[in-house]
Amino acid sequence: MIVSFECKFKTNRENIERILQHYGLRRIQTSLYAGDLKNDERKELAKNISEIIRDTDNVLIMPVCQSCYSKKEICGRKIKFQEELYKVF
């Protein structure tokens, strides 16, 4: 799962970041998160984000199949994925 977002207001950006971290997604870049979510978790995530965003915000939630995800390549600083993901429910 890849999630990218753009928010005009800092408070909304922080709220979205909290939600993404709640679902165990890991920050890759400032407004880019990645992680593994089941389909029902993805739908719940989209619902929760939809409830707080404003008209000026946009959030892209892009499912990535396991086969494609396993082919990821990292250049530069090492990014730890699965071993550092924690879901809080």
> Does position 80 have pLDDT exceeding 90, yes or no?
no
| Weakest mean pLDDT among 34-38, 40-44, 48-52, 56-60 | 34-38
Residue linked to tokens 């993901």: 85
Strand partners, 33: 3, 27
**pLDDT score for 21:** 93
**pLDDT score for 69:** 77
Q: Higher-confidence residue: 65 or 60?
A: 60
Contact assessment for residue 86 and residue 24, using Cβ atoms and an 8 Å cutoff: yes
Pair of tokens at residue 69: 């995800």
Amino acid at 67: S
Strands (E) across the chain are located at 2-6, 26-29, 32-34, 58-62
- Stated pTM of the model: 0.80
> Does position 47 have pLDDT exceeding 80, yes or no?
yes
> Does position 83 have pLDDT exceeding 90, yes or no?
no
Crossing angle (nearest 10°) for helices 39-52 and 10-22: 160
